[in-house]
């Protein structure tokens, strides 16, 4: 907490307030801080991941854990990323989750009702959970046509910006500027990119994921498939929430999943140790921006 506060120039605990967290900047900084803190608490108990993967803003905490960026560099990038997002789209845009819908049908729906750069497939979270990014007007057109494509449920997410689509290209460029002179640090553990659904084996590959991810589709289902194929024995979702834990468990029911927020930390730590002889695992976080 102290290191994050020093990098910000104010106490990060000031963000722990409902009004403050309504800001895109505060929300993303809080998610990043909690993700890094959770990883370090686990490390103090010798629970160390063999691989990390981050959903959206969670990629920055994953990159810190992998040793590619420092905490201070992460704070700087996350703060700028969120500020540019918020400035570009202060209102009228967001994310819309479609449940019970196949990707091929959702892409047909987007092609049918999407206007000029106002509707995009932003996240492939699960086989039948797709998230769209776009304008409020485009979302109304989606709702009007949803029955035609047998979409079971539509849910507006509490995200105020259209992340993970081409509208975020200026954000990607801003983050790239932060990392322009970053020293090359090879990942000390495997870093799985949710943008490419591949392992990023070099500093440049991880930085490319951090910069480009905000303007490209999240391929979370494919990323979790890769973690399973790599032989992951336990998956741990870092705080906050349990969304990625549920997504992984649904897709790969034979692999144990622990969401840190599901129980007191001491209980979660004990469960992780019981699930694997060597206290190593894949760590995931975070929920959407």
pLDDT at 289: 61
pTM of the model: 0.92
pLDDT at 287: 58
CATH number 3.40.640.10 given to 2-88+166-285: no
In the chain, % of residues over pLDDT 70: 91
User: What is the DSSP track for 199-220?
Assistant: EE-SHHHHHHHHHHGGGS-B-H
Distance of CA 1 to the CA centre of its chain: 21
Q: What is the mean pLDDT of the chain?
A: 92
Q: CA-to-CA distance for 199 and 186, rounded, in angstroms? A: 13
Q: Tell me whether the CATH fold assigned to 2-88+166-285 matches the one assigned to 93-156.
A: no
CATH fold for domain 93-156: Alpha-Beta Plaits (3.30.70)
pLDDT at 279: 43
10: region left, alpha or beta (phi > 0 left; psi from -120 to 50 alpha): beta
> In this predicted model, what pLDDT tens digit does every residue of 111-164 receive, in sequence order?
999 987 899 999 999 999 999 999 999 999 999 999 999 899 999 999 999 999
> In this predicted model, what pLDDT tens digit does every residue of 57-91 receive, in sequence order?
999 999 999 999 999 999 999 999 999 999 999 99
Q: Do 127 and 181 form a contact (C-beta atoms < 8 A)?
A: no
Domain locations along the chain: 2-88+166-285, 93-156
Residue 125, helix vs strand vs coil: strand
H helix runs in 48-118, sequence order:
58-65, 71-88, 103-113
> In this predicted model, what pLDDT tens digit does every residue of 169-199 receive, in sequence order?
999 999 999 999 999 999 999 999 999 999 9
């Amino acid at each position: 907490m102290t290191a994050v506060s020093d990098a910000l120039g104010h106490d990060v605990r000031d963000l722990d307030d409902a009004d403050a967290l309504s800001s895109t900047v505060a929300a993303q900084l809080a998610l990043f801080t909690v993700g890094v803190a959770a990883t370090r608490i686990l490390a103090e108990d010798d629970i160390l991941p063999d691989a990390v993967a981050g959903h959206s803003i969670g990629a920055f905490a994953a990159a810190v854990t992998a040793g590619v960026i420092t905490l201070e560099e992460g704070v700087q990038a996350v703060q700028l990323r969120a500020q540019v997002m918020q400035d570009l789209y202060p209102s009228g845009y967001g994310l819309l989750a479609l449940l019970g819908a196949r990707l091929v049908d959702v892409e047909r729906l987007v092609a049918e009702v999407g206007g000029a750069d106002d509707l995009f497939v932003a996240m492939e979270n699960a086989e039948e959970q797709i998230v769209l990014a776009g304008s409020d007007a485009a979302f109304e057109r989606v709702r009007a046509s949803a029955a035609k494509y047998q979409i079971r449920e539509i849910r507006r997410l509490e995200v105020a910006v259209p992340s993970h689509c081409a509208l975020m290209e200026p954000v990607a460029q801003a983050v790239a500027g932060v990392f322009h002179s970053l020293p090359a640090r090879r990942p000390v553990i495997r870093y799985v990119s949710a943008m490419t659904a591949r392992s990023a084996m070099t500093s440049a590959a991880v930085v490319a994921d951090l910069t480009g991810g905000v303007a490209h589709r999240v391929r979370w289902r494919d990323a979790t498939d890769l973690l399973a194929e790599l032989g992951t024995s336990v998956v741990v979702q870092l705080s906050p929430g349990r969304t990625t834990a549920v997504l992984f468990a649904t897709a790969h029911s034979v692999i144990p999943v622990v969401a840190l927020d599901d129980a007191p930390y001491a209980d979660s730590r004990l469960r992780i140790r019981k699930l694997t002889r060597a206290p190593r695992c894949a760590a995931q976080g975070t929920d959407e921006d």
